[in-house]
C-alpha cells in the first residue's frame, strides 16, 4: 500500500510518468419502447423495460497530475487485450518516457507475462523494459486512482442506456475530449501518514 501512496506523493516526472490503469465491463442496453417526448419543465420519461444487447469492456488509463485520460472500448479483457493497451501506452501515449510507472490491481491478466503471450519475446521485452508495475494490495483496488476516474465516467457519461458499441465509443470519446481539454485532475489526499493512522490495524504490532 505504501508503495502506491509514495508514488502518488511525487511530483510529475516527464521521463517517468505515473499512470493508473483499470478496466470495467459495461452492459449494452436498448429501449423496448420509444421514450416520451420531453416537454419544457419535465424530466425525461423512459419505460422500465429494456433489452440486453451484450457487453463490452473499458480499459482506462489516467495520468492524475497531467489531467490526461484515455478510455478504450474492447470486446474482451484477455491477456492479449491488456498487452495491446501496454503497447499503446509505451508507443503512442508516452513514447518519450524512459520508464512508465504503472499502478494496477492484482488481476491475473495484469502481468508482464501477458505481453509474452501476445508478442514475440523481443517485442515483449522491448515494451516491458519501459514499464514498472506497482500493484494495489489485495482487496485494496480502491487505492488505484483509475477507480476515481471510472466513477466520474459512470456519473457523467454512462448514466443512461446505451445500445451498441459505436454509440458507446462516440459518447466516451466526447466525454474524454472535454475532460482532457479541461485538464481535469484527481485531488488525491490519502497519503502514507493517513494510512498509518486510519488503517493501523493492517500494520504489524511490535511488542
Dump the DSSP string for 69-123.
EEEEEES---HHHHHHHHHHIIIIISTT-S-EEEEE---TT-STHHHHHHS-HHH
Please report whether residue 20 resides in a domain: yes
22-36, 40-54, 128-142: which is most confident: 128-142
Task: Give the range of the structural domain holding residue 183, as residue numbers without chain letter.
Answer: 2-29+51-199
Query: Is-above-0.95 flag for pTM?
Result: no
Please report whether residue 92 resides in a domain: yes
Mean pLDDT for 179-184 is: 95
Please report whether residue 36 resides in a domain: no
Please report whether residue 35 resides in a domain: no
Please report whether residue 60 resides in a domain: yes
Please report whether residue 40 resides in a domain: no
Q: What is the pLDDT of residue 146?
A: 94
* Number of domain units in the chain: 1
pLDDT in tens, 13-46: 999 999 999 999 999 987 666 665 666 776 666 5
The domain spanning residue 18 has which CATH number? 3.30.420.10
Please report whether residue 46 resides in a domain: no
Between 83 and 5, name the one with better pLDDT. 83
Nearest to 153 by CA among 168, 134, 136: 168
Nearest to 169 by CA among 157, 160, 180, 178: 157
Mean pLDDT for 114-139 is: 95
Please report whether residue 204 resides in a domain: no
Amino acid at each position: 500500500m505504501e508503495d502506491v501512496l509514495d508514488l502518488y506523493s511525487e511530483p510529475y516526472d516527464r521521463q517517468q510518468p505515473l499512470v493508473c490503469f483499470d478496466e470495467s465491463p459495461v452492459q449494452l442496453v436498448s429501449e423496448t419502447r420509444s421514450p416520451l417526448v420531453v416537454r419544457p419543465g419535465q424530466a425525461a420519461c423512459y419505460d422500465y423495460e429494456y433489452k440486453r444487447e451484450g457487453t463490452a469492456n473499458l480499459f482506462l488509463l489516467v495520468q492524475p497530475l497531467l489531467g490526461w485520460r484515455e478510455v478504450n472500448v474492447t470486446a474482451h479483457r484477455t491477456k492479449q487485450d491488456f498487452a495491446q493497451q501496454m503497447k499503446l501506452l509505451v508507443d503512442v501515449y508516452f513514447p518519450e518516457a524512459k520508464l512508465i510507472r504503472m499502478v494496477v490491481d492484482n488481476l491475473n491478466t495484469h502481468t508482464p507475462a501477458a505481453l509474452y503471450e501476445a508478442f514475440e519475446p523481443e517485442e515483449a521485452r522491448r515494451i516491458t523494459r519501459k514499464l514498472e508495475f506497482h500493484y494495489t494490495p489485495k482487496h485494496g483496488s480502491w487505492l488505484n486512482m483509475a477507480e476515481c476516474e471510472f466513477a466520474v465516467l459512470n456519473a457523467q457519461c454512462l448514466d443512461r442506456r446505451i445500445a451498441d458499441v459505436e454509440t458507446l465509443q462516440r459518447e466516451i470519446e466526447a466525454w474524454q475530449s472535454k475532460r482532457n481539454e479541461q485538464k481535469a485532475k484527481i485531488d488525491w489526499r490519502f497519503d502514507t501518514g493517513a494510512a498509518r493512522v486510519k488503517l493501523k490495524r493492517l500494520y504489524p504490532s511490535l511488542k
